Amino acid sequence: MDPAYVQNLHALLAQSTSNDTVQLKAATAQLNREFYKNAACIPALAQIIASSPEQPVRQLAAVELRKRIAQNSGDFWLQLDADQREQIKAKLPEIVLSETNNLVRHSTARVIAAIASIEMPLGTWSQLLPFLEQTCLSPQAAHREVGIYILYTVLESIVEGFESHLQSFFKLFEKLLSDPESAEVRITTVRALGVVAQYIDSDDKEDIRAFQHLLPAMIEVIGQCVQDGNETGARQLFDVLETLLILEVPLLSQHIPQLAEFLLRCGANRAFESDLRVLALNALNWTVQYKKSKVQSHNLAPAILEGLMPITTEEEPEDVDDDAPSRSALRIVDCLATSLPPTQVFPALRQLIQQYFSSTDASHRRGAMLALGVSVEGCSEFMTPLMSQVWPIIEAGLQDQDASVRKASCVAVSCLCEWLEEECAAKHAFLVPTMMQLVNDPVTQRSACTALDALLEIMHDVIDQYLNLIMERLVGLLDTAPIPVKSVVIGAIGSAAHASKDKFLPYFAPTMERFKHFLVLTGEGEEQELRGITMDAVGTFAEAVGKDVFRPYFADMMKQAFNGIELGSPRLRECSFLFFGVMSRVFGDEFAPYLPNVVPALIASCKQAEHGEEERLTITNPEVAASFASGSSRANAIAVTDEAQVAIDEDDNLDMDQLLDVNSTICIEKEIAADTIGTIFLATRSHFLPYVEQCTIELVGLLPHYYDGIRKSATDSLLEIIRVFYDLSEPQEWQPGFANIVPLNPRVKELIGHIIPPLLEMYESEDNKKVVSSLCVGLAETTTKLGPAFLEGRLEHFANIAIQVLEQKAICQQDPDQDEADDAPEDSAEYDSILISSAGDLVAALATALGPEFASGFEKFFPLISKYYKKNRSLSDRSSAIGCLSEIIGGMKSAITPWTEPLMDLFYRALSDEEPEVQCNAAFASGLLIEHSDVDLSPQYLHLLAALRPLFVVAPDAPAAKLNARDNAVGAVARMLVKNTAAMPLDQVLPVFFDALPLRNDFLENRPVFRAIFHLFKTQPALLAPYLDKLLHVFAFVLDPTAPDMVGDEIRAELIGLIGVLNREEPAKVQAAGLTAFVPGQ
């Protein structure tokens, strides 16, 4: 090797380590130009690593050597002659063992790994593994550290070639995990096992057993790191643990109870560093999320909750973005509630909440309230019947002497309002005055405004009595409150407008005047947040007051929204997009002139990169990436590719959070942009046609995105595009079944061809339940809109999606720890029920589109759907199973006949269900079955009337579900009357039937009700004479021109004709009922 060449290279490397930017750039340019294009630089760099006295130069030489060896898939390295390569391979192990600097050692180890990844597959470096094994077992700790580190880096590069060595590695690792001197050896061994784990297959039973045998020792090493306060090591090892948790091979399954107990112990120990406790608790969160079936089968939730509650009582940091053990603990409570059946979570949690809330220590009462708040999302249905026991705690919390408890109680109220609307709205007489009081207190002001915002959103008509007080108090705060409070105040004013609709008119103009200066704020942070929330509120105002009142502000507000886009803030762009969606809904065609500016902004948002373009960082694990985007994982669980060209070693105190600027706010902005495209097309219709193709291409491009919110929005908008495009093609009305198919417009067919295949491809690997649920609902709506033509060539695909979900075998429902032979547990999380219900919607849509032709499909689907009606199933499962079957009957009509008996048996059971929501669906379903089945069910009429009778007894202030159940029972009786009047004991039935009229909740049931009334007037008019006054009152009620339409055009026309006939016979009674105006010819 020419000494001058080596010397020049050394000098340039030294210059590259300088802090002088000019020198650095010049050196880098010269290195790239004169050295790095020639393979001769490889032996020269190796010589510099071996001989340079300057540590930074040795370090840089090692980093550059690794890059040169890897260049062009190893081609550069293979350009060297065999002797040179052998010399370097022989020399590097010696260099790495004699190197004193850890950073250089690690970088040199990675050089060895780079060479190994080329030479090992060729079988030309047989000496490496024996050398590594010998080094790992050296009596010198420093040598063992180097040996295991090289082995770890080699495994990262080429583990595929090492399957035959795994068993010997496991034996070696067992010794190294208990290294008596070096924590570094133990830590690196766990990391090496983390790499090996990724290449074990589910069929490799021997390897799985060997790995599982090492798990207790691995967990012990993690515990030592936490105990010693070794944050770097702990982060690395918790990353390994997270990798093991998301693998499909069940390596951890046997140890889940021990692992959960260990992580909880680490997280709860206040003697440990706060950051390390957070890491342990985050890993516990992942354990619950990814090992759900094991956590459920071992019933670990009560013990985990008991361990978490003391942590929830710890202090919370002021900054909402700062993490702390208390916040991590509450995240796990949330995860338990949303992942597991509420039966395993809420009873234990309720006991703990009562225990902690009765404590004299305010921090315990605060922890109880926050735990209650975060549990609502996953347990809302289960909690509903228990709310009478929950409200006293909430009421006491809102009036607690300690401000932190009052604030936490406001948080709990916000959560309750989101998930238990009816229960919270019913408590307005207590909640509104209490919230107004707390809004006055500067300490609770912000939390109280947030809770008030959530409450107002759901109050509807009840708000009228409070509107003046609320507006007076909130508007006053706009002058005095700090910016963060102003933001929540404006949100609450928006919700007040949403609830009060046109009653908001008197407040509209003055409030807009006050909002003006918030809409032009340009400062970052709080000011931008305030501007964005004001924009959202103005959109709500427009929907409340209507386009005619809002029109004078329209152009100016659109201008402000465009200005917001220009400010470069993802949050403001998101708010502008939401505003565009609202304006398009309010103004329809009048929004069209803005499309040339709005649509390009939405498309630009969909196209943008989420990472800083300068660094081009690549996320290699989509599972981890999704967690990162949702904020549930640390950044350093993500691998960074070499494209970043950063001369660092990732093991050495690098803050990956800074390097990995994955901006979740951009993901949320994209999610909103994708959603807004569908909203605007629906609102502007034909005006949007020039943009359909480009928008479709962009949205299809987002379907493989790692962030589930974006996939869901893209799915929703793409299916919306199909439906609107179909509407615009002036289609003929379709008839059920393939036999009567109405061909689709060729352009509609072409559009469907571009959209549906990518959606089906996404489903094949979709692991998020909300996305699959959205896909099922979207396909159902599109099938119902387009009819059987949409199913041509796709019926099997759509049916298979529904079958997989109902069998709980879709990718998003799979749990690698559950034995394939076992059925999924019947007791499931409430979120799982939403997915099942969505699949039911899809099946019902197929039945509607195929009509009688669905009979062969029903044979397959009936057992799959009916199994969800069992007493131990959740209310949602039971209700949606019966609801789905009723819609299928409505679609299949008389083709349902062969299944009449088993369906009727099921509906009888459902009519005696304890929940009115289920009874409501059962009444509707039994009525439809009687209407459509060819089997004469009149022998069962008395039995069925007895089952329906309790549903007629309802107090006026009963919950909506009971009122709906009565309306559906009335509809069922009406269908029985029409089908076989003679089989009905009319003297007993008619008084109860007419007494339940007019229907006030489910107006769709007016159709069978009036069909029955018309039928009786035609066939047995004398029978109706005693009820004529009552009936005329009912007619006046449904024909009230100031009320919403309750009967539809067809029934309205027939009813007006009947009133004309009655007027000839009983004009005085018709006049007394106020119906003279409806008499034809009047």
Give the single-character DSSP code of 523. Answer: -
CB 161 within 8 A of CB 199: no
CB 375 within 8 A of CB 334: yes
**Among candidate residues 991, 988, 947, the one with its CA nearest the CA of residue 968:** 947
Please tell me the pTM assigned to this model. 0.83
DSSP result, 577-606: HHHHHHHHHHHGGGGGGGHHHHHHHHHHHH
pLDDT at residue 372 in the model: 97
Residues of the chain with pLDDT under 50: 612-662
Handedness of CA 265, 269, 273, 279 (dihedral sign): positive
Query: What is the end-to-end Cα distance of the chain in Å, rounded?
Result: 113
- Apex 656 CA angle, 650 and 659, nearest 5: 105
DSSP result, 40-52: THHHHHHHHHHH-
- Apex 442 CA angle, 441 and 448, nearest 5: 65
CA dihedral 675, 676, 679, 685 (to 10 degrees): -120
Cis peptide before 998 (omega within 30 of 0): yes
Residues 6+ apart with CB under 8 A from 68: 36, 39, 41, 42, 45, 76, 77
Residues 6+ apart with CB under 8 A from 972: 923, 924, 926, 927, 930, 944, 948
**Among candidate residues 693, 671, 669, 670, the one with its CA nearest the CA of residue 681:** 693
pLDDT at residue 160 in the model: 61
Residues 6+ apart with CB under 8 A from 695: 599, 602, 603, 677, 681, 717, 721
pLDDT at residue 204 in the model: 87
Alpha helices in 79-140 (DSSP H): 82-98, 102-122, 128-136
pLDDT at residue 86 in the model: 93
**Among candidate residues 244, 258, 242, the one with its CA nearest the CA of residue 300:** 258
pLDDT at residue 306 in the model: 97
CB 424 within 8 A of CB 458: yes
pLDDT at residue 461 in the model: 82
**Count of positions (residues) in the chain:** 1082
CA distance 728 to 748: 9
**Structure-block tokens of residue 117:** 């990844």
**Among candidate residues 605, 565, 782, 842, the one with its CA nearest the CA of residue 710:** 605
Give the single-character DSSP code of 180. Answer: S
Residues 6+ apart with CB under 8 A from 303: 260, 261
CB 201 within 8 A of CB 249: yes
**Three-state SS letters, 189-209:** HHHHHHHHHCCCCCCCHHHHH
Side-chain-facing half-sphere of 996: CA atoms under 13 Å: 29
CB 891 within 8 A of CB 878: no
Side-chain-facing half-sphere of 1006: CA atoms under 13 Å: 22
**Structure-block tokens of residue 439:** 């809004």
**Structure-block tokens of residue 321:** 């973005």
CA distance 499 to 496: 5
What is each CA distance from 428 to 163, 412, 465, in whole angstroms?
66, 15, 11
**Among candidate residues 1049, 944, 1077, 1061, the one with its CA nearest the CA of residue 1014:** 1061
pLDDT at residue 769 in the model: 94
CA distance 557 to 586: 13
CA distance 328 to 631: 12
CA distance 846 to 781: 10
Q: At what angle do helices 664-684 and 570-587 cross, to 10 degrees?
A: 10
CA distance 564 to 413: 32
CB 509 within 8 A of CB 476: no
Residues 6+ apart with CB under 8 A from 126: none
CA distance 51 to 583: 70
